[in-house]
Structure 1
Amino acid sequence: MLQLQEGGYGLLKNCFFPESAAIIGASTDPLKFGGRALKFCLERGYKGRLYPVNARHDVVQGVPAYAHVADLPEAPDIAVIAVPAPLVRENLVAAGEKGCKVAIVYGAQFAEAGGQGQARQDDLLRIARDHGMRMVGPNCMGAISLASGFVASFTSAPEHHDGNGWPEAGAVSVASQSGAVGIQVFAQLRDRGLGLANWISTGNQADVDVADAIAYFAGDAATRTIAAYMEDASRGLKLCQALERARLSKKPVVILKVGTTPEGGAAAQGHTASMYVEDRVVDDLFAQYGVLRAGSVNELIDLVAACEAGVVPSSPDVAAVSVSGGGAVMISDAAARRGLDLVDYPQDALAALKERNAFVNDRNPIDISAPSMSNMEITGGHLKWGLERNLPTMIGYISHVPLVPRTRSGIMPQLLKFRDAHPGQLIAIAANLHPEDRSALVKTGVAVFDDPSVATESVAKLVRAGQAFEKPPNMPTAPGGFEDLSDALAAAGITLVTETVVDDAGAAVRMLDGPIVLKLSASTLRHKT
């Protein structure tokens, strides 16, 4: 039963903040598979020591190169193995013999390919373990740190937006089994004005997996919110321990877990050699640790936006203000579905509000009505009134108001001041915004959405995370042995059949009277029956 090892996930620091790095297979062409990591490290201003390994060139992209890993002047903290699959093994051995702490293996055609691919991957894992080295991959896209400037990835994302594809440094750290989905998350976070701290693609997860990354991010000072894309949840205890670390650190974890059906599980098996786990088990596990579960990449981004406001309320009480009745209805429906409480406003406060705006209704959500589209003192004032109810969360819906030039200039200065005036409240605004206005609001600590229903549902999931944060510590541990597991199951009313280890099937037949079930037992097998 796999468990978290502090000395293991702690080594992931070398994926993001290494003091030295070898890039094995470094290319003189910065656009080639083996050239991009070096190019990006130079562009991003990485301050550590870089050692390109290239047998044909003494200098690669202006950096002195070495013919072989053994020739390096020191043991690098990390080795980026950017060579074709047939050459991975010998270079992983070389990295281990040199004393590298972590190796990133890009190459594919291992366990995900089936057949002998699993054996080749098991061989890589044995090599890594024999040398006390953690391995990321194979079949992965590497790691990125916006905080340190270290980039061990061959992604083409920096080419987005005419070469302006890097996000701003921020506090969101991402772990993804899929490199392509991980980069989509990278791009959408950037385009929503949400800054990135760290990013890692775990691929086949022969060794390092998403749970390791979550555990590392839980203790990482640069990380406030953890986002993950997962195909494999079969290392259940390890995942629970990682989620508990994040919960105890009060860092929200947003997870898009796919392979939720047998058909999706089969697809995941062919992608990253992942094992199908019944989804209701995953759902219950996530609920226990306050995970904000996303059903799509878009929802994952919305949930991260809620988390990045920096306030995680545990109370379901919400004040809501809308510029229209339609928005008020959507917020009301979503709140009812997700268990938020649109508390009644005091009658005296409503009466004072009606003196300023005779069109306003008398319930939560407030509907500002007609003046909201023309008088920004009223629109901004009503939003401010909602904040002054001093409830843990205020949800505001202002439609397209910030896109109209004559109203944009009136509403934006007010919105940008809200968080400073109410630092302890979660402020969620649903609106159509210019990208620069969205980014400015996000930087003040306001959660920004396009849709009032999505805003409300995101707040509800964040509230459940806040409630989970208030539970006492409860780090799960593995049973000490089979007997302990039997006792635990018996206490839960589950009876196990007799289990005996035998050398051959004939011995089992002679020992037992009646039907028997055979199960393979070997340290190299993973849940094979």
Structure 2
Amino acid sequence: MRKLEQMLSPQSIALVGASKNLNKLNGRPLKFLLEKGYAGRIFPINPNYESIADLPCYPAVSAVPEPVDLAVVMVPARLVPDTMRDLASASVPAAVVFSSGFSETGGEGAALEEEVRQIAREGGIALCGPNCLGLINSFEGVMASFSQFANGETPPGPVGFVTQSGAFGTAIAALARNRELGLGYFVNTGNEAGVHFSEVMEDVLADDRISVGAGYLEGLADGNWFARTAQKALELNKPLVVTKVGRTSAGAKAAASHTGALAGEDAIFQGVCDQFGVIRAPDEEVMLDVVDAFASGARPSDSRLGIITQSGGAGVLMADGAEERGLTVAALQPDTTRRLKQIVPAFGAVGNPVDITAQFIAEPEIFRDSVIAVMDDPAVDIGIVWFQLMHEFVDQLMDVFRAIREGVSKPVLVCWVAGPADGISQLRELGFPVFRSASAALNAAGAAARFGKHRAAWESERNAAEQPLPSPVDLSGKGVLPAMETFELLTAHGLSLTPSRLCATAEQAMEAAQALGFPVALKIESPQILHKTDIGGVVLGLADSDTVRHGFDTVMQRARAAHPDATIDGVLVQAMQTEPSVELVVGLKQDPVFGMVVMLGMGGTALEVNPDVVFRKAPVSEAEALRMLDQLRGRGLLGEVRGRPAVDRAAVARLVAATSTFAAANADQVAELDINPVLASAKGARAVDWLLISKGGPRR
């Protein structure tokens, strides 16, 4: 039994505050339940009536002589606490509270909402709301909502939709209906004083009748739960498609490390989506485009696209747009090309895109056979068919697509520009997703390919033995850790750091340089000086003992001049890497929603000017770290460039994975870690500079 079974699929419903006027907001749920054929028991609750719509009416839920699974609360906010106490005394397991006037109104409302939250928690009531439109389970006619959406047809379908916004959620649901996308569930979580988005979505996806989840998000109460829900969706092979607002929020405030400064809320949310296979849509139209493809069963294992059109121009347009959506225009095999030459008119095109021309109107078999030939090609994972108008040829087209449905097992998306409504409906009945433009079809195909590849990776990696986390270390109260203490700590956890020694005198520095090998770098070490280069506290490329002595004196003088009161611990002497390398940055950040996250990006001056970074929730595997590298805009610099050999990507992945494992083991201890730069070369990846800040200690 699902955790929210009695909320989402109740056998009995009490309507608290029900009205005799079924057109009023507090009368609509009863009207909808009766109209949609809800088969369970309905109990109107209102002390002013003996009956409503020929049903016995009770003064309170506690007076109902039978068990109640779900109570729909439709009373003013001030009466909600007493109503919830009545539900608790009657052992009602779930409630939907429509009432507004809670935290969305400010102080007093927030206090009232907290009271309701406590009553629900103590009474064991799964609470949806308050300030919500409620929920619809169209499979079973559960209409625990006053939404306008319930006024129209609510045919069941494979899409489970959960939204934090009521009005905008209703608009999305109405758009889905216009596209003939059946919503099996519509749930508005409102203020989330009880159940939240991820909790509801997890239960919705657990229904075997649902094959895709869709959601509208404004914020997350529990990032860990969201990640678990996404992982469960992957396991079930049910794509989760979300639109989340707040993409350009200010995010993290100024922080001591680059990681802290760059870890904006939206960047981390995007990283978690990428990590766990969640498809993020920028708006409601793209969301429904993507959901349309998934609802039809599109689950390609890779991203190689086959394009069949009646317009050469449309084919070129789609080929241009494919790459930016993560698609590859497949190179058709010679056997396929030869086969197409026997089908397509000589004035058409048999490459990919395939242009069958308008000749197919006279010879529909050209259309049919071309699509089947392209989709038979082993190099093609997903197809898009483009055509326009055809109002007078709907019947012939349906015959063609019936044959395609029978002859093709791979996903085929249809772009029918300015097509007739009846034709589009018939095509949807055959199981094909239909799109209004090439761009919409490409968005859907790209998203389907991304999910398919992520699912395939999950399948191949899920049986890999999970490595146990190391024992946590005690960092309590330390704040910013000294460089050498951090060195010992991180190297013990498997990170590769450049050999270093802390020296208090110039003589010690010269001895250290001799032992480490020239050239060396010198860096001032002080609890009060975090950004050493800003005060000239770093000198590089020292090739002999004399330059080391002079360099030691120089950085000490600069540090004392810039910070006369600073405590100077000494100078760090480090061996310098001489082989050609690329600068990267790796970091950790404690996020209030998702907990410990790991960052990977291009380092050096680019980090200051045009940050190129990606985030994941810690820990990550080495395979996931490689996918992080693939997401960087500057990933091309990791390959062979002007005679410099390619970077050892596997070494970078090991360093990132080890950093994230350290983070996960010490999530209660670490506030931030900045490793910048990491020098990645053909010989490996080694950290050159690092800054570790623990929780609860003094900040430098």
- TM-score by shorter chain over 0.5: yes
**In 1, Cα distance between the equivalents of 2:113 and 2:473?**
29
1:446 aligns with 2:643: no
The answer to whether the aligner puts 1:495 opposite 2:699 as a matched pair is no
Q: CA deviation at 1:436?
A: 3.4
Aligned to 2:158: 171
Q: Please tell me whether residue 313 in structure 1 is matched to residue 293 in structure 2.
A: no
Verify: 1:193 aligned to 2:180, yes or no. yes
209, 231, 234: which one pairs with 1:222?
209
Q: What pairs up with 1:257-406 in 2 under 5 angstroms?
A: 257-262=244-249, 278-356=265-343, 357-372=345-360, 374-390=362-378, 391-401=380-390, 404-405=391-392
CA RMSD of superposed structures (Å): 2.8
Aligned ranges 1:406-445 → 2 under 5 Å: 407-422=393-408, 424-432=409-417, 433-445=419-431
TM-score, L = length of structure 2? 0.64
Code of the aligned partner of 2:442: T
1:155 pairs with 2:142:
no
Give the letter for the 1:499 counterpart.
Answer: G
Counterpart Cα distance in 2 of 1:372 and 1:480: 68
1:61: how far off?
1.6
Counterpart among 212, 230, 236 of residue 223 in structure 2: 236
**RCO greater where, 1 or 2, for CA within 8 Å and sep 6 or more?**
1
Report the equivalent of 1:485.
Answer: 667
Aligned to 1:268: none
Q: What is the distance in 2 between the residues matched to 1:103 and 1:11?
A: 14
In structure 2, how many angstroms separate the alpha carbons of the residues matched to 1:349 and 1:222?
Answer: 38
Percent identity reads: 29
Residue 366 of structure 1 and its aligned partner are, at CA, apart by 0.5
- Once structures 1 and 2 are overlaid, which stretch shifts more, 196-205 or 454-463? 454-463
How far apart, in 2, do the equivalents of 1:175 and 1:489 lie?
33
2: distance between equivalents of 1:323 and 1:66?
A: 65
Instruction: Give the Å deviation of 1:142.
Output: 0.2
Native 8 Å contact 1:289 1:465 kept in 2: no
Structure with greater Cα Rg: 2
Distance in 2 (alpha carbons) for counterparts of 1:264 and 1:377:
56
Q: Which stretch of the first structure deviates more once superposed, 75-84 or 491-500?
A: 491-500
The answer (yes or no) to whether the contact 1:233–1:277 under 8 Å persists in 2 is no
Residue in 1 aligned with 2:499? none
Q: Give the structure 2 partner of residue 97 of structure 1.
A: 89
Displacement after TM superposition at 1:442 (Å): 2.4
Q: Distance in 2 between matches of 1:142 and 1:468?
A: 33
1:249-273: per-residue Cα shift (whole Å, max 9, x none)?
Answer: 11010101112233899xxxxxxxx
Instruction: Report the CA distance between 1:490 and its aligned residue.
Output: 7.9
Per the alignment, residue 28 of structure 2 pairs with 36
Does structure 1 conserve the Cα–Cα contact (< 8 Å) formed by 2:308 and 2:356?
yes
Provide the residue aligned with 2:241 in structure 1: 254
Match of 2:450 among 464, 468, 485: 464
Q: Is the 8 A contact 1:332 1:365 kept in 2?
A: yes
Q: Provide Cα deviations, 1:297-317, integer angstroms capped at 9, x if missing partner.
A: 111110100101113112112
| Counterpart residue type for residue 49 of structure 2 | H
Structure 2: how far apart are the matches of 1:479 and 1:53?
A: 57
Shift of 1:204: 1.0
Distance in structure 1 (CA, Å) of the matches to 2:35 and 2:228: 37
1:62 aligns with 2:259: no
Q: Give, as a single letter, the amino acid of the residue that structure 2 aligns with 1:485.
A: A
CA contact (8 A) 2:13 2:43 kept: yes
Q: Secondary structure at the match of 1:495?
A: strand
Report the 3-state secondary structure (helix = DSSP H, G, I; strand = E; otherwise coil) of the residue aligned with 2:306: strand
Deviation of residue 184 (structure 1)? 1.6
Kept in 2, the 8 Å contact 1:237–1:478? The answer is no
Amino acid at match of 2:406: D
Paired amino acid for 1:397: W
1:184 counterpart (145, 148, 171):
171
Task: Give the match for residue 3 of structure 1.
Answer: none
Letter in 1 for 2:35: E
Greater fraction strand: 2
Alignment partner of 1:111 out of 103, 109, 112: 103
Give the CA deviation at 1:126: 0.4
Aligned partners of 2:404, 2:302: CA distance in 1, in Å?
A: 20
Assess, with a 3 A threshold, how the Cα gap between structure 1 residues 388 and 74 changes in structure 2: closer, same or farther.
same
- Aligned mates of 1:61, 1:247 — CA distance in 2: 45
SS of match in other structure, 1:26 = coil
Q: How far apart are 1:374 and its partner, in Å?
A: 4.6
1:351-410 per-residue CA deviation (whole Å, 9 max, x = no partner) reads 443344111213101012242455433233322332332532111101222xx21x2222
- Contact map agreement 1:372 1:378 (CA 8 A) in 2: yes
Mapping for residues 113-128 of structure 1, pairs under 5 Å: 113-128=105-120
Deviations 1:436-480 (A, max 9, x none): 332332233222111122212211111111222231449999999
- Counterpart Cα distance in 2 of 1:99 and 1:198: 25
Structure 1 contact 171–225 (Cα < 8 Å) conserved: yes
Compute the displacement of 1:487 (Å): 5.5
Q: The residue matched to 1:11 in structure 2 has which SS?
A: coil
Alpha-carbon spacing, 1:181–1:480, altered in 2? closer, same or farther (3 Å): farther
Work out the CA distance in 2 between the residues paired with 1:437 and 1:166.
20
1:506 aligns with none
